[in-house]
Each structure stands twice: as structure tokens, then as C-alpha cells.
Amino acid sequence: MNDLVITANYSDGIGILEPHCHDCHQIVYVDRGNASFMINSVRYDVKAPCVVIISRFEEHSIIECDNSYSRYVLRIRPTLDGVDGYNAKLLFSVLVNRPRFFSHVISVGENAGMVEETMRRICEEKNVGGMYSEKMLGLLLQMLLLSVCRAEPRLLLSENGGDFDMIFSIKQKFETDYRKNYSLREIADEYHISCSRLSHLFREVTGKPVMGYLMSCRIAGAKHMLAETEMPVGTVAENCGFSDFSNFSRTFRSVTGQSPSDFRIRNASENDRTAE
């Protein structure tokens, strides 16, 4: 999973899907018709033209749609390794940040033409390719996210580069090394900031408390291991930073509504899904 854009497709017709999740981010552009999405137990009645943003391992389904429903679907690599520059990182954070005002569905209104054209070019570039295709896809994806942010300016949360870089660094630390034991005090000391200030900034940007975000990374890692490997559940718990199996099982069920074993069975065939 090295490509920034993993898949890019356009499809039309009925698209009812049972609840599922992916080990990647998704951007769905609904260009025609209506549909009802369920994302993290929240129902969204979607009317074209709009963009639906679904982050890594957010459970979602399409529970109904009309015959005219059609959409572009992008799957985006879950980590931002190789994405350079403050502005690029700020844009890509739109895929994962969940501040209080956040909605998974953004009506793009007068920006619809630019969104649709950019989606079309991403699909063409991904499926036809050419010289410097990966760089072109990165630029097109940034253009797409900028168009979405024009429709909902609050998505670009931070005007303070230092604060944003700090939160981005902490998030990357959790996302890549969630097995390690952390404490709020240790993290605050590392970045020379008070615990209360760190907690405030982190929640403002991500919508979650610091340790809550770490837990979400551990659960996301567990979902990946359960769905993509045959690793014993006890080993999954250990690799995701849980002190014991019972704590892992209890926490996993409270977050997902399923036991780790049930989740594994339900998502075993996830790699066969190709479009929303």
C-alpha cells in the first residue's frame, strides 16, 4: 500500500452496502441522485452534489439510494509518509480530524464543477497513468481537498503552524508506534507545553482527547491485524499496547460493538470490496 491514491473509480446504479470498514481513507463524490449513508451509527441523507469523507476504519454502510445515484470513490493511503510541507499536511489532516462541528458529508455547491473535474482527472491519472503519475496524483488530491475546504472553510483548522506541527507530530507518533506506553505528562514535557494546553489544542484539532486518540490508533491497528492476518487475538492485543487480553476484549467491544473474534469473521473478505 505505497500509492497515495490506492484506487479511483466511478460507478452508477444501486449501491446498497452492508456495514463495513477499510484500512484506508475514502473520499466519495456523489454527482447525481440521493443516498443515505450510515457512518459510525450516524445517518446522513446525502443529496448530490456533495463529498463524503470516511476515515480509516470508520464503519459505514449505504442503507438506501435512488436509481440515479452515481459517485466517484477514492481510496487514500492511511498514512502520510512522503507528504511534505506544512500546507500539504494541513490539507490531508481534513481526512482524519474530527472537531466538534465536523460532518462526514459536505455540500460543495458552487464548487461542484471543480470537484467533479478533479475527481475525473484523478480517476484518469490513476487508471491510465504516465510519467510522474504519482506526483500528479498528489497535486490533484490537494486540489480536491482545497475545493472541499472552500465549501467548508472551517475544515482548515489551524492558522498557527507551530501548534499544528506539534499535534501532527504527536498523531504520527501514536499512529506508527501505538504499542508503546505513553502518558500525557511525558508527551507534554517532550514538547515543552503544559498538560492542560496540550489537551486543549489536541482536542481542538482532532476532536479527541490525547489519550483517546492513542486508543483509537490502537483499536485501528487491532482491526487491521484481525482483518488482514491470522495472528492470534492475544498477540494482537499485545502488539496494540494492551496490558492483558481481557482489557483488550472489553475495550474493543465497547468501541466497535463486537468481540475481536466476531470482527475478524465479519471483515475477513474486506479485501474483495472494490467500490462504495
Q: Which pLDDT band holds residue 165 (cuts at 50, 70, 90)?
A: confident
How confident is the model over 111-144, as pLDDT tens digits?
Answer: 999 999 999 999 999 999 889 999 999 999 999 9
CA separation for the pair 97, 90 (Å, rounded) = 10
List, in order, residues 6 or more apart from 134 with CB less than 8 Å away.
3, 4
Q: How far, in Å, are 74, 76, 79, 228, 258 from residue 267 at the CA level? A: 20, 19, 21, 9, 11
With beta carbons less than 8 A apart as the criterion, state whether 204 and 194 touch.
Answer: no
Q: Which pLDDT band holds residue 162 (cuts at 50, 70, 90)?
A: low
For residue 209, cis peptide bond before it (omega within 30 degrees of 0): no
With beta carbons less than 8 A apart as the criterion, state whether 80 and 14 touch.
Answer: no
- Is the pLDDT confidence value at 158 over 70? no
CA separation for the pair 12, 22 (Å, rounded) = 21
With beta carbons less than 8 A apart as the criterion, state whether 40 and 103 touch.
Answer: no
- What pTM, to 2 d.p., does this model score? 0.80
Instruction: Look up residue 128 and give its three cell numbers.
Output: 491510465
More confident residue, 207 or 116: 116
Q: Which residue has the cell 456523489?
A: 30
Q: Return the bridge partners of 9, or none.
A: 73
How confident is the model over 46-73, as pLDDT tens digits?
Answer: 999 999 999 887 888 998 888 899 999 9
Q: Which pLDDT band holds residue 265 (cuts at 50, 70, 90)?
A: confident
The per-residue pLDDT of the chain, averaged, comes to 87
Q: How far, in Å, are 168, 190, 276 from residue 163 at the CA level? A: 9, 14, 36
Closest CA to 246 of 256, 235, 237: 237
In DSSP notation, 228-256 reads H----HHHHHHHTT-SSHHHHHHHHHHHH
How confident is the model over 83-122, as pLDDT tens digits?
Answer: 667 677 778 888 888 877 889 999 999 999 999 999 999 9
Least confident among 126-135, 158-167, 252-261: 158-167
CA separation for the pair 96, 269 (Å, rounded) = 25
Total Cβ atoms within 10 A of residue 121: 16
More confident residue, 161 or 27: 27
